[in-house]
Structure 1
Amino acid sequence: MEKSPPDIKNTPKEQQSSQDHLSAMIRDFWQQVKNSEQSLNELDILDIMKNINNLLYENQLDVIAEITVGDTKKHKILFTADGKIERFEYVIEISRQAPDLQFFEVEAFRQRINNVDTFVIKSKESSFSLGATDLLIQYKESCRKISIGIMFAKTVPENMIKQAETMALVYLDHLLGEYDFAVRVEAVDFLKIDQSATTIPANQFVTIFERSWKEDLKHTGIFNIQEDQWIVFELTDLKMLVHRNEAANSLLGHENYCYALNVIVDVDSKETLSLVYELEDAINFALRADEQGIHCQNSFSEGVRNMLWYVGNKQSVLQLVKQITN
């Protein structure tokens, strides 16, 4: 008697359809850029930026293009979500699917500033500004990420506090880079100045942030080729049993494994559970074979098994899982 396949709640087919639609929009955008590359190259930087952003808008790609001088080519197109994490996928996929252009190179996300010691953010409404020594930072590990506390080392007028806090967040975004500030930072709090507190000037924080991320939290970005290291615990309030793979910890938050493949399956019998184990093993084997992804967590609650992997190329992984589940 042939076994019935397990009931997968979120099917790769549905996810694939959404991904195909995004890819089509991106493909159309890049074709238009490529067709007009010669004429774009003859414009000044502001007009290039205006034209490319118009093409993004026409193709319903809700991100922003900024133009700078290129490292290896004449211009660089930098795509940013302006801190909106729900649009990070657009930035990643637009950059990943970029064609080879003659005059333009492509970069995803605003990067960290190089001139930390001299970088200053100025208020548009007043003479108030924030520089590297005007922000004092405390940090701690929190939920496998880093939480930040900020103190102002200069006097902030009462009517400027909200604006100063906004400026400080923008400063951190430039200091850590758009991706790391959104993904690696758990929370940011503004603290009252405390002369006895141990703090770090903003211009020294990047080095400490990197060291804490890689050495203390062990998020090295190196794919762990060793065997999985599972720990088990129960969330009693949720009546949920959780298996977490510590071998996947090294890839948490890494830009090359920034997607989560989530497979949710109803388990109503031992036979179904056996089929789910087979499905899980097949996905694991396929993803690990060429380091496309790593199994990071399973949970079980009220007859539903939820399996989670960190993966890189969403399009190819969805196709792979679709083949396996078929």
Structure 2
Amino acid sequence: MTSPPSAIAAFWREFSDAEASLKALPLRERVEAANAVIERHLTGLALEMSGDADDVLLDLIVTAHGGIENFPLLMQMVAAAPPLPGYRVRAFRERTTQPDFPIGMDGFELATSDVLIACGQDDGQAALEIRFGREIPEDYRDHACNMAFIMLDHVLGEYDFAVKVGAVDFVENASDPRTPWTPLSEFAQVFDRYWIDTLGRTSNFPDGEHDWSGMTLSFGGQDGDGGAEDMAIVMINRSANPVAMRADLTYALTLDLAVGNRDELAAVQNLQDQAATLLELPQLGIMAYTMTRAGRRQAVYYVGDVPLAQQALAPLLLRDEAGSLELTTRFDPAWAGYFEFAAHCP
């Protein structure tokens, strides 16, 4: 099977070679032809073009249609794009600039002004409740729900809808009667204010001393499992919340080290704290939480560029106290690992 970097390179070569012939096509046919090219090389991604056929510069948009599992591939593809005269390559379908619009499906039409949204909280994400501001025939109820999802993607943008929004429920009445209903055509600004004012996501890196909270968790030791109770101490960096889910902090980088005794614990904690400083000063990443369990201490940092972060940490990772290091990364744009604990930490 072709590796993602090889497949990406092969796509851009074929697209560049076909560029002149593509430009001779009407815009709709050009998009179809471009997608035929990408389908030969990459799965889960598609291309869209924004602009008029006679524009000097078109936006070439790479989308995963909201599939978070394909976001890393999408971002690799955009980062690898060669210079393309006449195109500006962009990641993710952006928000529409005209949020008051209708769409039709199988003879049924629905406008964004007909879709009412109430915004709440789902751990670290925003929870949305949806009801319709007009009568929906029962035969078209499923159509209306599907259309509302499509509209949300266009109004909020692909990345924000996929990453920042958690539970979405269709209801008759809001679970909190104090929550106002907002037409989807006006919802983007309400969502942004909620993200900043209520959830505290200013996107600004914290200054000074960070605010940490701790809790003790119990694993095992339950009825019938036959094992001893396994205790863990989790420390949550509350000061990381303002930058949670930033599009340039999507990878959880974990430094996992053995702590067999108190001296080793102190040395490992010092090393992990120094790693936080090396990442946070140039704003390459931030330490979000730690867990001490079963003779090991994990420190989890959210970073955007994993190779660059590892390069910054390289001198630390060569030290003697890093001999037991297990270094792992995972794509976690919604910071699920962080909010799994932060939502329940006092």
Task: Report how far residue 65 of structure 1 moved.
Answer: 0.9
- Give the aligned partner of residue 250 of structure 2: 258
Residue 227 of structure 1 deviates from its aligned partner by 2.8
Quick check: 300-309 or 203-212, which moved more?
300-309
Note the C-alpha offset of 1:271. Answer: 5.0
In the alignment, residue 283 of structure 1 is paired with which amino acid?
A: A
Distance across 2 between alignment mates of 1:25 and 1:94: 9
CA RMSD of aligned residues (A): 2.7
Cα offset, 1:275, TM superposition: 4.5
Deviates more, 1:160-169 or 1:42-51: 42-51
Of 240, 249, 253 in structure 1, the residue corresponding to residue 232 of structure 2 is 240
Structure 1 letter corresponding to 2:268: V
Q: d(CA) in 2 for partners of 1:112 and 1:205?
A: 12
Report the secondary structure of 2:256's partner residue. Answer: strand
Kindly report which structure 2 residues correspond to 1:55-74, keeping only aligned pairs within 5 A, or say none.
55-69=37-51, 73-74=56-57
Q: 1:176 aligns with which of 156, 159, 162?
A: 156
Q: Which of 277, 283, 297 is the aligned partner of 2:275?
A: 283
CA distance in 2, matches of 1:271, 1:49: 62
- Answering whether residue 144 of structure 2 is matched by residue 164 of structure 1, we say yes
TM-score normalised to the size of structure 2? 0.78
**In 2, Cα distance between equivalents of 1:201 and 1:173:** 15
Where does residue 82 of structure 1 map in the other structure? Answer: 65
Counterpart of 1:134 in structure 2 is: 114
CA deviations on 1:124-156 (whole Å, 9 max, x unpaired) are xx3322212211111112212210100111112
Is the 2:66–2:162 Cα contact (8 Å) retained in structure 1? yes
> Would the aligned equivalents of 1:267 and 1:305 in 2 still touch at CA under 8 Å?
yes
Q: Gapped runs of 5+ residues in structure 2?
A: 221-230, 319-346
Query: Is structure 2 residue 147 aligned with structure 1 residue 155?
Result: no
Greater relative contact order (Cα < 8 A, sep 6+): 1
Q: Trace 1:80-119 onto structure 2 (pairs within 5 A).
A: 80-117=63-100, 119=101
Deviations 1:275-296 (A, max 9, x none): 5324413422321232111111
Equivalent pair of 1:25/1:61 in contact (CA under 8 Å): no
* Matching of residues 211-226 of structure 1 within 5 Å: 211-226=193-208
> Could you report, residue by residue, the CA deviation over 1:237-277 in whole angstroms, capped at 9, with x for unpaired residues?
67432211122111111112222223334443445434532
Q: Which moved more, 1:89-98 or 1:291-300?
A: 89-98
Q: In structure 2, how many angstroms separate the alpha carbons of the residues matched to 1:159 and 1:234?
A: 51
SS of equivalent residue, structure 1 residue 66: strand
Report the Cα offset of residue 164 of structure 1. 1.5
Which among 233, 246, 249 is matched to residue 241 of structure 2?
Answer: 249
Does the 8 Å contact 1:45/1:68 carry over to 2? no
Q: Which moved more, 1:291-300 or 1:188-197?
A: 188-197
Q: Are residues 1:41 and 2:33 paired?
A: no
Q: Match of 2:321?
A: none
**CA separation in 1, counterparts of 2:145 and 2:235?**
39
Q: Which residue identity does 2:9 align to in structure 1?
A: R
Change (3 A) 1:60 1:197: closer
Distance 1:321 1:132, change over 3 A: same
- How far has the Cα of 1:160 moved from its partner? 1.9
Could you tell me how far apart the structure 2 residues matched to 1:73 and 1:227 are? 50
1: CA distance between counterparts of 2:238 and 2:217?
A: 18
Counterpart of 2:325? none
Structure 1's 28 and 281: CA in aligned 2 closer, same or farther, altered over 3 A?
Answer: farther
